[in-house]
């Protein structure tokens, strides 16, 4: 059962998903018995919440670190300008190494990353970039209402390197030069601002589900999700709100399907533009499209990327209610591509309009048995 929440209302997700990834870091799935209810039963919530009990708190946080970078490398990380803002870009990690600093002076995690991505601003339009760096995160948690709130606060950002591969707006290129700035400086600021937000992982003892939010979520609060997912045995792969401007695309994934006989279940609702195209493509096709998109102005196309056909090519219309589809998939990895350009899909945005009609799409992607 899906309930769509258009307002920025609070909602919770009950799922078996483990999606906890942000720019430069991720969080692995832990078993329901790894920490939480057992730890509380043994030592009590008051002891765990005691800030002076650093060793015990850090020991509990070590669970799941084996898959720390594995989760980061699985799918592109959403980039936002604020906790309640839509997605404006993605970061795709190419490499990741993590290390635990377990001495008394640190009690923290260090992540070294490299990757590439894109972001959209009204000054530059699309920025394509490569980025690498080292981030030290201090972690802590609090227990509230049967949930564990794990906080990852940036302690040190070092060696952050940024190289633009594309500045889409020709006007922006000239304006940045006149202002004495360069695109690399602007892009580095965007990436570092994202890193400094930290992130929050919420584990609910009653269900064992993991929830993720960019930024630091106040204890007792829940991160915004556009859909509330209830009473399902399907895995929640993504539950987001994205904003795709005219001539732009968004690449969600690539999501991994391990078992045969599976299907991707897609639900979406559109606002801000008359329509947007939604495609599901295998990872090799998506990678080819993404490579083109990061380096070339305008949307990538199947032809320009020398890629194969899409498994799904459909259109979401504004005001048409909930759009729902399913796609049977074999084991492998897949992207969801959201297109507001003339390059992919069946529709073409009306570029004669004075204002940029950005497609604001709420979507949830589930993985489960074929119908």
pLDDT digits (tens, 9 = 90+) for 203-243: 765 555 666 666 788 888 877 889 988 888 999 999 989 99
What is the mean pLDDT of the segment spanning 31-35? 40
The per-residue DSSP string of 101-163 comes to: E-STTT-EEEEEEEEEEEEEETTTEEEEEEEEEEEEEEEEEEEETTEEEEEEEEEEEEEEEEE
Instruction: Please write the tens of the pLDDT for every residue from 331-346.
Output: 999 999 999 999 998 8
Helix and strand numbers, DSSP H then E, in the chain: 7, 19
Q: Where are the domains of the chain?
A: 16-214, 233-369
Superfamily, domain 233-369:
GOLD domain (2.60.120.680)
pTM of the model: 0.78
Average pLDDT, integer, range 150-158: 79
- Separation between Cα atoms, residue 187 and residue 124, nearest integer Å: 10
> What gap in Å lies between CA 227 and CA 318, rounded to an integer?
17
Q: What is the mean pLDDT of residues 37-45?
A: 45
């Amino acid at each position: 059962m899906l309930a769509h929440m258009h307002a920025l209302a609070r909602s919770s997700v009950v799922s078996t998903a483990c999606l906890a990834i942000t720019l430069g870091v991720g969080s692995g799935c832990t078993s329901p018995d790894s920490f939480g209810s057992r730890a509380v039963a043994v030592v009590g919530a008051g002891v765990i919440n005691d800030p002076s009990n650093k060793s015990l708190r850090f020991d509990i946080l070590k669970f799941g670190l084996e898959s720390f970078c594995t989760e980061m490398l699985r799918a592109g990380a959403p980039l936002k300008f604020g906790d309640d803002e839509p997605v404006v870009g993605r970061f795709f990690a190419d490499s990741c190494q993590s290390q635990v600093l377990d001495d008394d002076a640190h009690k923290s995690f260090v992540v070294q990353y490299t990757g590439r991505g894109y972001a959209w601003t009204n000054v530059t339009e699309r920025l394509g970039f490569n980025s690498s760096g080292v981030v030290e995160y201090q972690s802590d948690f609090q227990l509230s209402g049967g949930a564990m709130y794990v906080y990852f606060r940036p302690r040190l950002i070092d060696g952050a390197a940024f190289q633009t591969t594309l500045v889409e707006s020709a006007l922006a290129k000239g304006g940045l030069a006149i202002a004495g700035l360069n695109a690399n400086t602007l892009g580095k600021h965007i990436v570092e601002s994202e890193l400094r937000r930290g992130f929050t992982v919420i584990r609910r003892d009653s269900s064992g589900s993991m929830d993720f939010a960019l930024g630091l979520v106040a204890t007792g609060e829940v991160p915004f999700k556009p859909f509330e997912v209830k009473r399902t045995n399907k895995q929640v792969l993504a539950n987001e709100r994205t904003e795709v401007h005219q001539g732009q695309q968004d690449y969600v994934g690539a999501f991994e399907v391990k078992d045969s006989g599976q299907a991707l279940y897609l639900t979406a609702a559109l606002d801000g533009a008359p329509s947007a195209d939604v495609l599901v493509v295998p990872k090799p096709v998506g990678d080819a499209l993404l490579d083109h998109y990061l380096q070339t102005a305008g949307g990538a196309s199947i032809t320009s990327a020398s890629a194969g056909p899409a498994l799904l090519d459909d259109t979401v219309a504004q005001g048409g209610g909930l759009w729902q589809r399913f796609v049977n998939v074999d084991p492998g990895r897949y992207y969801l591509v959201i297109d507001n350009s003339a390059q992919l899909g069946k529709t073409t945005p009306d570029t004669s309009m004075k204002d940029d009609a950005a497609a604001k799409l709420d979507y949830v992607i589930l993985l489960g048995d074929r119908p």
